[in-house]
A and B are shown apart, each in its own frame.
Chain A
């Protein structure tokens, strides 16, 4: 049931104060990929703050009037028409954590029954089958068939595969590539016997009520392996773990994205590259990995070893332009999401790249869909795949 009157009621003091303190400089407006694409003012970060501030003011000073359902609906739509890429935060002169603000606001919207229909379906899927696709939980490990992948063993390193890598056939080569790298390096590793979604889609949609349940399952399964390192292919899972799970794990467990691990293995001489990749290759920095996790130099260190013709995309590294697939935006507005990704593909074409590598399953899915719809010859691949294909014997 819609309870728009209670929307933002549970907003924290810090978030409220920050919205009042916002300097109205508008720096965040021009850089938003969704606003750039749609032109809808309600998607512009500064405009959203303005409207949410208006809603809170009406709560604090009721004599200023009460907002209409339509007004609230527009604000909520704007909140979900967002990739959570953090570009707005990156340009905020006052360093205001806007990603956190959008997530908190979504939580309030979702908690009051204002979440968009596609995201409610995601929550249902997570509740029923512990994955975002509502595919049977029992088939989560199907991707390992025919591969040398240890499951639920005692190990030093756990590979946390994630929903996209586990269930999307297109990404199977990416997951198996990391398995190959780990085996080549002689790591003592395993995947979990009973891995479930890390919960980041719940955090993104604001459906945080059942988050703990998922987290507890994963924590228990990881502790059973005795591992002290967890490695991720998905930057969403990775950020979820270092931001949320680390509160439970403390410093007992090290969390690494696959790129960090590959960089570390290469530096330790556990893997070597043949440097045979002749094609012109470019790299798209996933927002959650580069801007929000600071992993910027590591992929470039590795690329220098594997590819002869590397070329940078414009709007890269910390200032990377989002592919359009983040923050569950693709579920909310697929066309616009693919259209944003199309621009990234066009940029790859402009720099003359035939391979576009990236290190995020969501980016791969979105970018490759955009490449197909543009009939582009740019091939989108996972970073681990590019590495695995160039490992020395």
Chain B
């Protein structure tokens, strides 16, 4: 029999006002903390990455904080979360049932961006001297890593939008939230 879940009692049909930012955030936490962390960090890294690349020269002193802290340190945290997320996706039959080929290609993009991201972050960073094997492994791509990281991101955005992957999922969610909010404000 289907397992008993602790789904909260909801009202049917769901009203537009009931589905907004709060529902989405609550929903992510309901699925798992890992899910929430994955989505939150992904959004932060994408936005900060675009800020650095597109508006970097106008950011002034903020650039350091955005690049080093928001993109760099949170990026490190994302690596750990991503590994756990991938493991969860691979061992969970229900997740494998719903994930599409594009989602798996998305994962390959993430891996490429993670590797090149670590390569960029390790340049002149003192911690790399403590892991000589990693420094050695990253050495061949060190010169191309920034280009691959940036171009890879845009290729991924394009790919994941045309073939419905993570990006289109994010855009659709953002549109729905704003659209539903406007509708509920109009009293629809």
Interface positions of B from 1 to 32, Cβ below 8 Å from A: 1-5, 7, 9-14, 18-19, 23-24, 26-28, 30-31
Interface positions of B from 149 to 181, Cβ below 8 Å from A: 162-164, 168-169, 171-173, 175-176
Nearest residue in A to B101 (C-beta to C-beta)?
A: A54
Complex: how many Å from CA A243 to CA B168?
A: 32
Complex: how many Å from CA A72 to CA B137?
A: 47
Interface positions of A from 52 to 98, Cβ below 8 Å from B: 53-54, 57, 61, 64, 86-87, 89-97
Please give the number of chain B residues whose Cβ is less than 8 angstroms from any Cβ of chain A in the complex. Answer: 41
A6 interfacial contact with B, CB 8 Å: no
Residues on A with C-beta less than 8 A from B162 are 61, 64
Interface positions of A from 277 to 315, Cβ below 8 Å from B: 291-294, 314-315
B94 interfacial contact with A, CB 8 Å: yes
Complex: how many Å from CA A18 to CA B95?
A: 18
Q: Do B31 and A86 have beta carbons less than 8 Å apart?
A: no
Residues on A with C-beta less than 8 A from B169 are 20-24
- Give the shortest distance, in Å, between A52 (CB) and chain B (any CB): 11
B124 interfacial contact with A, CB 8 Å: no
Q: Do B97 and A47 have beta carbons less than 8 Å apart?
A: yes
Nearest residue in B to A18 (C-beta to C-beta)?
A: B176
Nearest residue in B to A292 (C-beta to C-beta)?
A: B12
- Give the shortest distance, in Å, between A60 (CB) and chain B (any CB): 9
- Give the shortest distance, in Å, between A341 (CB) and chain B (any CB): 12
Of residues A23, A49, A92, A99, which shows the largest number of chain B Cβ atoms within 10 Å of its Cβ? A23
Residues on B with C-beta less than 8 A from A30 are 2-3, 94
A46 interfacial contact with B, CB 8 Å: yes
Interface positions of A from 1 to 24, Cβ below 8 Å from B: 17-18, 20-24
Residues on B with C-beta less than 8 A from A53 are 100, 164
From A22, A29, A292, A319, give the contact of B7 (CB < 8 A): A319
B108 interfacial contact with A, CB 8 Å: no
Nearest residue in A to B96 (C-beta to C-beta)?
A: A26
Complex: how many Å from CA A45 to CA B172?
A: 19
A-B contact count (CB 8 A): 128
Complex: how many Å from CA A385 to CA B172?
A: 49
Complex: how many Å from CA A100 to CA B13?
A: 8
A273 interfacial contact with B, CB 8 Å: no
From B10, B94, B176, give the contact of A17 (CB < 8 A): B176
Interface stretch among A31-39, A176-184, A259-267?
Answer: A31-39
Nearest residue in B to A63 (C-beta to C-beta)?
A: B162
B98 interfacial contact with A, CB 8 Å: yes
- Give the shortest distance, in Å, between A20 (CB) and chain B (any CB): 4
Residues on B with C-beta less than 8 A from A143 are none
- Give the shortest distance, in Å, between B150 (CB) and chain A (any CB): 25
Nearest residue in B to A46 (C-beta to C-beta)?
A: B98
Complex: how many Å from CA A61 to CA B164?
A: 10
- Give the shortest distance, in Å, between A90 (CB) and chain B (any CB): 5
B122 interfacial contact with A, CB 8 Å: no
Of residues B11, B27, B28, which shows the largest number of chain A Cβ atoms within 10 Å of its Cβ? B27
Residues on A with C-beta less than 8 A from B57 are none
- Give the shortest distance, in Å, between B165 (CB) and chain A (any CB): 10
CB-defined A-B contacts under 8 Å, sample of 7: A18-B172, A23-B28, A24-B169, A25-B31, A91-B7, A314-B1, A319-B7
Which A residues form the contact surface with B (CB < 8 A)?
A: 17-18, 20-27, 29-33, 36, 41, 44, 46-47, 49-50, 53-54, 57, 61, 64, 86-87, 89-97, 99-100, 243, 291-294, 314-315, 318-319, 321, 343, 347
Which B residues form the contact surface with A (CB < 8 A)?
A: 1-5, 7, 9-14, 18-19, 23-24, 26-28, 30-31, 35, 92-95, 97-100, 103, 162-164, 168-169, 171-173, 175-176
- A24-B100, A46-B94 known; 9 new pairs, CB 8 Å cut-off, are A21-B173, A24-B98, A31-B3, A50-B99, A61-B163, A94-B19, A94-B27, A95-B23, A95-B27
Which 7 A-B residue pairings sit nearest by Cβ, starting from the closest? A93-B27, A26-B94, A46-B98, A20-B172, A21-B172, A29-B94, A93-B30
